[in-house]
């Protein structure tokens, strides 16, 4: 008998009808002879409504009380889903985070899972019941209710799968899997039948958005086999595992992109040992999220640093840098907005040094000017003009033959 | 330093504004140098909305899952109230039922409190914090979330007051105290400054409705001093304690009434030892709530039993009796509807045997026909025609001089 963890996000349990639909997916797995642990998020907009309610009381709620408040969202979903399963004749029991034994750091709002005591879950499964666990939440050593922060329910599902040594962790979402790139932009985008953790991490960080990077990391660390699939359709999804099958020498697995990038250059910084750390510690301490960083040091007294940010935080970033001009000791700040980032991702790149070159040539053949470049072992990112983004993606999708392969395997 | 438990019902925390108002009442008590434990219900209509949500999933939810669902209501309130206190600069911490150590029977929907582990609450209070506890809920020995059933938050407050040996338990509600009778019906109804547990119990059971009988019983058993008072107005409320001051020989403390009563008579039952138990066990097993019971046994083979019920359950009651006609072996069922119950309550009656007679005389002087009578040591109930109810109450209120006394003491 296999053990499967199934995770249903807020959209997949947003209404009583959708909760019934999630129940059907669980029952299907149970009927196939599996033990099932379902992990759920709060229904649709519940969390937003609770946040709004807190806002009517105070503009600075304590994190402990926010956790107390927000965790009711998942608690509502687990009870309703358990009811739906029982209504269909399947014995089920709902468990809050603490009841499921999920112990976290003594932190609120963004706690990490420290340990999971699976005794209660095991007992419940061994009685032939379906366990329905509240995602996103746990308890601290002093028995306060804590939350896991962004992507929390994905993390709960993967952590439970790891602790229970589940055979698979299925992430149900509103797309049918992980695509070579965003199918809303590139019509020929193809669903991948498999992808590696690292590739998924690069795609997730770049905004593919179907699976939280934190959960992918957790899955990678504990070797949990994931499947990203649709809660509404029956077709098989995308398997995420350590070594995804190398479908016909697929060097590039997918394309990611972001359309709202600004490049900032700080000129004439002192060329010292701690220049980089001064600049980026300042930005990090003020929650300014920096993406690509480029510094090319020459043997001179002064140096320039360039980095890219999301355009929405441009004003804050410049203000902060100007307030600290004296300490940092730079000359002036330049910027260029209206940019976009286009990345190719694939673990096959490690052994194919020509991939980056092929990307650059493809873009230059299209008269697309590359403003910044950043590379990792399995990713090459370029910053280009916003107006060139779609053309860049479509051309790269063709060049790397992402839609020319065998279609993903259908269930 | 005194310790006060304050309970705020659903109306008193129904909106963010009202939650802030409750916070002000708590802060007032804290500023007077008291340690404060606040117990709260779910906001306004929250419970109804959750019940409706469950109804969209199933018509027969398990009690365990309903408890899981409904307890989110109070959890929302405690977090918001703690935020409101912190916003005003008063350190506070919210606790769910299980966090407050409230251990109940292993039952769902209507569990009794078995024990309260006050360690966490004591620690919190000793740190100078205000404790905000979710009413109506606890946990079982196997760490399931349970609820206390109707009047649950009142019971939580009283039980905590007992366990913590609090100096007082204040019940905040939308009326200013306990009245001699319903002030909406009798204009001269007067707020009582004090009332005994037993009197309160008789009034509560008869529909005075400000305090759940179960909580009053609990308070009586553990000697918890209660005060029923308004969450919106500052005036002192009504103290409920063992021996309420006998304000000027007040023999009758209050009047209670219900306007929707049907009398049922079962004729020609076998006059056996187990006749009463057969009939009323059958009714109880089917959740038919019987009020006054009258049987006058003659030395004959057959007997008649009369009892009163709320008119709304008349059809169910008759149907049940007819289905069991053969087993019960009766002749026929008669009924009279359009009746009302009028009761006088007061512990002074025990030593004043003429009180019942005075009541009967008062009603007969007004040409009011008495259909049934039931007496206890501190109560006399009569069933009369609905059309006579108001006249009966007003006349009795005058005759027993309920509005002629010294006004209730003002704060």
Provide the pLDDT confidence category of residue A249 given band limits of 50, 70 and 90: low
3-state secondary structure of B304: strand
**Which of these, A198, A191, A205, A214, lies nearest to A348 by C-alpha position?**
A198
Average pLDDT of the segment spanning A291-317: 84
Q: Using an 8 Å Cβ cutoff, are A408 and A228 in contact?
A: no
Which residue is listed with tokens 């069933």?
Answer: B383
- Residue A5 near residue A109 (C-beta atoms within 8 A): no
The third-level CATH classification (topology) of the domain covering B3-173 is Carbamate kinase (3.40.1160)
Contact state of B57 with A145 under an 8 Å Cβ cutoff: no
Phi, psi of B67 (to 5 degrees): -65, -45
pLDDT at B244 (0 to 100): 59
Q: Give the distance, in angstroms, between the CA of residue A329 and the centroid of all CA atoms in the same chain.
A: 37
- Looking at per-residue pLDDT, the higher value among A232 and B62 belongs to B62
pLDDT averaged over every residue in chain A: 89
Which strands, in side-by-side order, build the sheet including A379-385? Answer: A290-295, A302-310, A254-270, A332-345, A379-385, A370-376
Show the DSSP H helices in B56-148 as ranges: 63-87, 119-126
Quick one: how far is CA A15 from the chain centroid?
A: 24
Residue contact B86–A50, C-beta within 8 A: no
Other C-beta atoms within 10 Å of A215: how many? Answer: 28
A255-399 CATH, one of 3.30.2130.10, 3.40.190.10, 3.40.50.300, 3.40.50.1000: 3.30.2130.10
Q: Where in chain A is the domain with CATH 3.40.1160.10?
A: 3-245
Q: Which residue of B has its CA nearest to A23?
A: B57
pLDDT for position A158: 96
The answer, for B100 touching chain A at a CB cutoff of 8 Å, is no
> What pairing do the DSSP bridges indicate for beta strands B226-230 and B168-173?
parallel
| B397's tokens | 């209120």
Cα(A179)–Cα(A237) distance, integer angstroms: 10
Name the segment(s) of chain B with CATH classification 3.40.1160.10. Answer: 3-173
CATH number of A3-245: 3.40.1160.10
Task: Give the Cα separation of A301 and A298 in Å (integer).
Answer: 8
Number of CB atoms found within 10 A of residue A33's CB: 8
Closest residue in B to A143 (Cα–Cα)? B99
User: Taking phi first (over 0 means left), then psi (-120 to 50 degrees means alpha), and beta for anything else, what does residue B352 get?
Assistant: beta
Distances (CA, A) of B158 to A60, B5, B148, B166: 33, 8, 13, 9
Local confidence pLDDT in tens for the 411 residues of chain B = 899 999 999 999 999 999 999 999 999 999 999 999 999 999 999 999 999 999 999 999 999 999 999 999 999 999 999 999 999 999 999 999 999 999 999 999 999 999 999 999 999 999 999 999 999 999 999 999 999 987 899 999 999 999 999 999 999 988 888 888 888 888 888 888 889 898 888 886 555 567 888 889 889 999 999 999 998 888 999 999 887 565 545 678 889 898 899 999 999 888 877 888 888 888 888 888 888 888 766 667 788 889 999 999 999 999 999 999 999 999 999 999 999 999 999 877 776 767 888 898 899 899 998 888 888 778 888 999 999 999 999 999 999 888 754 444 433
> CA-based Rg of chain B, rounded to a whole angstrom?
23
| Residue A135 binned pLDDT confidence (cut-offs 50, 70, 90) | very high
Q: Which residue from B minimizes the CA distance to A61?
A: B83
Q: Is B62 close to A83, i.e. CB distance below 8 A? A: yes
pLDDT (tens digit per residue) in A323-359: 999 999 999 999 999 999 999 998 777 767 678 888 9
The half-sphere exposure of A44 on its side-chain side, counting CA atoms within 13 A, is 7
Determine whether B267 is exposed, middle or buried from the number of CB atoms within 10 Å of its CB (0-12, 13-18, 19+).
Answer: middle
The minimum CA-CA distance between B57 and chain A, rounded to whole Å, is 6
The two structure tokens encoding residue B8: 């705020």
Q: Directed axis angle between helix A63-87 and helix B46-55, to 10°?
A: 30
Question: Which one of A287-291, A315-319, B372-376 scores highest in mean pLDDT?
Answer: A315-319
CA distance linking residue A37 with residue A26, whole number of Å: 9
Mutation target for B interface from A20, A65, A81: give the one with most B CBs within 10 A.
Answer: A65
Q: Six-digit token pair at A7?
A: 């995770």
**Chain B contacts of A96, Cβ < 8 Å?**
68, 145
Asked whether B253 and B180 are in contact (CB, 8 A), the reply is yes
pTM for the whole structure: 0.81
Query: Cβ(A182)–Cβ(A166) under 8 Å?
Result: no
Q: CATH 3.30.2130.10 spans which residues of chain B?
A: 255-399
Indicate whether A208 pLDDT > 80: no
Cα B85 from Cα B130, distance rounded (Å): 8
Instruction: Tell me which residues of chain B, numbers 143 to 182, contact chain A at a CB-CB cutoff of 8 Å.
Output: 143-145
Query: Six-digit token pair at A56?
Result: 């009517």
């Amino acid at each position: 008998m296999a053990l499967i963890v199934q995770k249903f996000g807020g959209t997949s349990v947003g209404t009583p009808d959708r909760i019934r639909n999630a129940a059907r997916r669980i029952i299907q797995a149970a009927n196939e002879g599996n033990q099932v642990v379902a992990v759920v998020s709060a229904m649709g907009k519940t969390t937003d409504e609770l946040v709004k309610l807190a806002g009517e009381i105070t503009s600075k709620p304590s994190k402990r009380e926010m956790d107390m408040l927000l965790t009711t969202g998942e608690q509502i979903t687990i009870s309703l889903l358990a009811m739906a399963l029982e209504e269909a004749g399947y014995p089920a029991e709902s468990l809050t985070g603490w009841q499921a034994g999920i112990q976290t750091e003594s932190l609120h709002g963004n706690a990490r899972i420290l340990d999971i005591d699976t005794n209660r879950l095991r007992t419940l499964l061994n009685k032939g019941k379906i366990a329905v666990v509240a995602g996103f939440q746990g308890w601290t050593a002093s028995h306060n209710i804590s939350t896991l922060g962004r992507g929390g329910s994905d993390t709960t599902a993967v952590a439970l799968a790891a602790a229970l040594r589940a055979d698979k962790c299925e992430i149900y979402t509103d797309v049918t899997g992980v695509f070579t790139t965003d199918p809303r932009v590139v019509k020929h985008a193809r669903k991948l039948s498999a992808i590696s953790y690292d590739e998924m991490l690069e795609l997730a960080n770049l905004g593919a958005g179907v699976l939280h990077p934190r959960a992918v990391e957790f899955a990678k660390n504990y070797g949990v086999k994931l499947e990203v699939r649709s809660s509404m359709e029956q077709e098989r999804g995308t398997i995420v595992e350590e070594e995804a099958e190398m479908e016909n020498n697929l060097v590039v697995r997918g394309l990611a992109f972001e359309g709202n990038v600004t490049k900032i250059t700080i000129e004439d910084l002192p060329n010292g040992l701690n220049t980089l750390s001064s600049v980026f510690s300042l930005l990090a301490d003020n929650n300014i999220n920096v993406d690509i960083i480029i510094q090319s040091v020459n043997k001179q007294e002064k140096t320039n640093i360039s980095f890219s940010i999301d355009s929405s935080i441009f004003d804050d970033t410049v203000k902060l840098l100007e307030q600290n001009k004296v300490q940092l000791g730079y000359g002036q700040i330049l910027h260029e907005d209206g940019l976009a980032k286009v990345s190719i991702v694939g673990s096959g790149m490690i052994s194919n040094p020509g991939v980056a070159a092929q990307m650059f040539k493809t873009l230059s053949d299209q008269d697309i000017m590359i403003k910044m470049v950043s590379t990792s072992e399995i990713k090459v990112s370029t910053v280009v003009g916003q107006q060139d983004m779609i053309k860049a993606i479509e051309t790269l999708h063709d060049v790397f033959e992402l839609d020319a392969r065998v279609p993903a395997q259908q269930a």
